[in-house]
Chain A
């Protein structure tokens, strides 16, 4: 249940807060960020002439840079504002999200990072296509990728638009259009190199901002987090340090945990980042850096959440935004006044911008590299064509994101993040793992697993209380869980295995034997 995160940011009259009023400091920081990132884009555009440069930054990104960029791609506004808000209003329960969002990273490292770097070129479908039949696996993988990307984009756009409206006092449409225009500029002109540096700048700003905020909170509690937690429990009851009502349905909590844990290893914009480093060793190290940074960040959000609970108060936070999303900005305002509020607001804006840029680039790669070049052109594109198609695809996806962002204005789209994670975990992850590790995996098995994962997830979410009760206002739902991952992940593994065993694919077995060496020594990738 990711529902509370970024849920319908709705402004109530902010009594004593400058939130929602045009804030010159926020504007200044924001335009400074835009200026810096557009400068980076201009620099990157001059270094983006080939397909490899456009999709993979010429494989020139170092492990440490990629570690920051992975963290930047991953730490969305939902994790910054959402978790801090959740902790500030419910206490302990927010920790379920912080830990769930981190434990996916070891899985990425152990199972997919290195084989992916060694076997593929630009997309995760490349890995499947090394041993399975090109057209069917690429089409199925592109469907999984685009579904993940579109649902994630809508959630970011709608959540972002409302938050920006709330923080800057801009109109919702203006906010969505600014985000869309900047994101299209980064991706279209600067490709992966610009996107990578936007992520790095954003990750540094976000970590710096959160660390500064946590430091100011801890100063008030003698630099002792336990004193902070004790103050929270003294003020709002010992229940704040214990599991609460968010885990009313244990199976739902487990299902959410599975989606977070295995979804990370199926997120196309994360997987794509492993192609930007020179080799598998750098891919491995970059996950190590990313895990360190992201874990540190989630520890900080916990301090921020409890800090906001004690210093600002849950009622004051809910008065500004029912979903609790304004906890971190309100805390910044309490501790550092309007200038610090402005800085944190600009950081949140930068966060949304960077995440949508990464998503758009991976969607564009699925459209141009998987569908156009390898399915329509059968692997032999006309000279210079793929880059043009990739840019056109980025533009189209950017425009779609803006349009959908405006169409879904005011809708409860929080379920779309869980949808994106559930599809990534059930459609992309099982097929990827089966094709990397299982010699007997056939084309039919992988395709069946991806199709079943996508369709099953969409269907079960439609039948779940999130859509049936919360949105359609029916009294009950056919499927009891808010997150289907506990059913769909084992289901698509099972379907992949059963269909593989029922079919024979001599080429897939031959291809597997041939690819084992490439998978470990990276000969193909070099």
Chain B
């Protein structure tokens, strides 16, 4: 149990909270627009494509992107630091 473990855990926690809030804002923003801006969500950008359908697709793509970003961060940054910590503690 070292303070560097706590620091790393806190770093992961910060990223997790920021990304969770991002997804919450995107999704509930979408729901709020549906609930309070019905007409605008129904207006057409192109034949067959309403603002609402575009935003719905964006919510799905945003879920993919935030997930991808977290996995990229964890695989490249978090795991490297974690491996260093593991080597350090097994060395002592």
Contacts and interface: CB of A to CB of B under 8 A. Distances in A.
Do the two chains belong together in a single complex?
yes
Interface of A: 92, 95-96, 98-100, 102-103, 105-107, 109-111, 114, 225-233, 238-239, 241-243, 247, 250, 253-254, 257, 261, 281, 284-285, 287-288, 291-292, 295, 298-299, 302, 437, 513-514, 516-517, 519-521
Given A106-B20, A521-B5, 14 more contacts: A96-B34, A103-B27, A106-B63, A106-B67, A110-B20, A241-B50, A242-B52, A243-B34, A243-B41, A243-B52, A250-B32, A253-B35, A298-B60, A520-B5
B82 A111 contact: no
Nearest to B6: A516
Contacts of B39: 242
Contacts of B60: 98-99, 102, 295, 298-299
A516 B61 CA distance: 33
A253 B34 contact: yes
Nearest to A229: B48
Interface in B19-43: 19-20, 23-24, 26-28, 30-32, 34-36, 38-39, 41-42
A106 B31 contact: no
Tell me if A's interface is mostly helix, strand, loop or mixed: helix
A103 B59 contact: yes
Nearest to A519: B9
Nearest to A94: B56
Contacts of A520: 5, 8-9, 12, 82
A242 B41 contact: yes
A517 B5 contact: yes
A383 to B, nearest CB: 33
A95 B27 contact: no
Contacts of B57: 299
Contacts of A114: 12, 74
A217 to B, nearest CB: 14
A285 B75 CA distance: 9
A423 B83 CA distance: 38
What band does the interface of chain B fall in when counting residues whose beta carbon is under 8 Å from A? 35 or more
11 contacts: A96-B31, A106-B66, A111-B20, A238-B44, A254-B35, A284-B70, A288-B68, A437-B13, A517-B1, A519-B9, A520-B12
Contacts of B85: 521
B42 A243 contact: yes
B53 interface: yes
Nearest to A228: B48
Counting from the closest, the 10 A-B pairs by CB-CB distance are A242-B42, A230-B48, A250-B35, A229-B48, A226-B48, A241-B50, A110-B16, A95-B56, A99-B59, A517-B5
Contacts of A92: 42, 50, 52-53, 56
B49 interface: yes
B63 A295 contact: yes
B71 to A, nearest CB: 5
A243 B38 contact: yes
A103 B44 contact: no
A257 B25 CA distance: 12
A228 B47 CA distance: 10
Contact of B28 (A226, A247, A257): A257
Contacts of A95: 52-53, 56
B48 A105 contact: no
Given A109-B70, A253-B34, A103 B63 contact: yes
Contacts of B2: 517
Contacts of B13: 437
Q: Give the most central of A99, A261, A284: most B CB within 10 Å.
A: A99
Contacts of B68: 288
A107 B23 contact: yes
A284 B82 CA distance: 15
A292 B64 contact: yes
Given A106-B19, A241-B48, A281 B34 contact: no
A35 to B, nearest CB: 36
B35 A513 contact: no
Nearest to A224: B48
A99 B30 contact: yes
Given A92-B53, A281-B79, A238 B42 contact: yes
Contacts of B9: 516, 519-520
A486 to B, nearest CB: 11
Interface string B68-89: 1011001100010010011000
A465 to B, nearest CB: 18
A299 B47 CA distance: 19
Nearest to B85: A521
A257 B19 CA distance: 18
Nearest to A233: B48
